[in-house]
Amino acid sequence: MDIAKKILKVNVNGRPYELLIKPKTTLLQFLRNDLGLTGAKQACMDNSCGACTVIVDKMAVKACSVLALQVNGREVMTVEGLASRDGKLHPLQQAFLDYHAFQCGFCTPGKLMSSKAMLDENPHPNEEEIRRDMEGNLCRCTGYTQYIEAIKAVAQKKEVAK
């Protein structure tokens, strides 16, 4: 069967895009292969590890398990959109650096996007809430202490990170 491509209109990191794609393209494939945004990582491809986490309309989702066409008309944010245009790091990125919250860094973009979505919804979570909301993001080398400390540091600041 010759499958017709479909038009996808989506806003990614503040920029509008309009592309023809195959219906079976996942959001992760679209971001990485069509837009060249390779921040979101491809790891388990099984909806388990969270390395592919991006934000769609304020919600953290696993991009490997969402069809790109399902985000038609929506707003997507990837780790590439986190720092400000002048290159100043987002407070979460800075905190991940300050607290040595990564080694290989493969899980980091996903963790940043999950924690960004969490803080946008609940700016001052306690440790239990942080642990609960970050459960969908696995790390195979650094472990889970440093990045929780990093997120806690941002969450405890009076100024809300945007």
Partner 1 sequence: MRDFEYLPTKTVKEACALISQYKEEGKILAGGQSLITLLRQKLISPSYLIDIKGVTELDYLTFDEKKGLRMGALTTHRAIEKSPLIQSKYPVLSEMEKSVASVQTRNWGTIGGNLCSGDPIGDPAPSLIALNGKIKIVSSREEKIVPLAEFFTDYFTTILEPDEILTEIQLTPPVPHAGVVYMKFSTIEAGIKIVSTSTCIILESDKMTCRDARIVMSAVAPVPLIAKKAGELLIGKKINDDLIAEAAQLASGETNPTSDVHGSAEFRREIAKVLVRRAVKEAFEKAKRT
Residues near ligand FES (CB under 6 A): 42-45, 47-52, 62, 64, 102-107, 139-142
Show Cβ contacts of residue 7 under 8 Å, excluding neighbours closer than 6 positions.
18, 19, 20
Residue 47 in the binding site for ligand FAD (CB under 6 A) = yes
Q: What are phi and psi of 60, to 5 degrees?
A: -75, 130
Residues 97-136, interacting with partner 1 (CB under 8 A): 114, 117-118, 131-133, 135-136
CA 87 from chain centre, in angstroms, equals 18
Closest CB to partner 1 among residues 94, 152: 152
The residue from 23, 98, 100, 145 that contacts partner 1 (CB under 8 A) is 23
Nearer residue to ligand FES within complex by CB, 67 or 123: 67
Q: Are 65 and 53 in contact (CB under 8 A)?
A: no
Of 51, 43, 98, the closest CA to residue 78 belongs to 51
Could you give the CA distance from residue 21 to residue 3 in angstroms, rounded to a whole number?
10
Is residue 48 a contact point for ligand FAD (CB under 6 A)? yes
Which residues sit at the interface with partner 1, rule CB under 8 A? 1, 3-4, 6, 22-24, 26, 45-47, 50, 53, 56, 59-62, 64-67, 69-70, 72, 114, 117-118, 131-133, 135-137
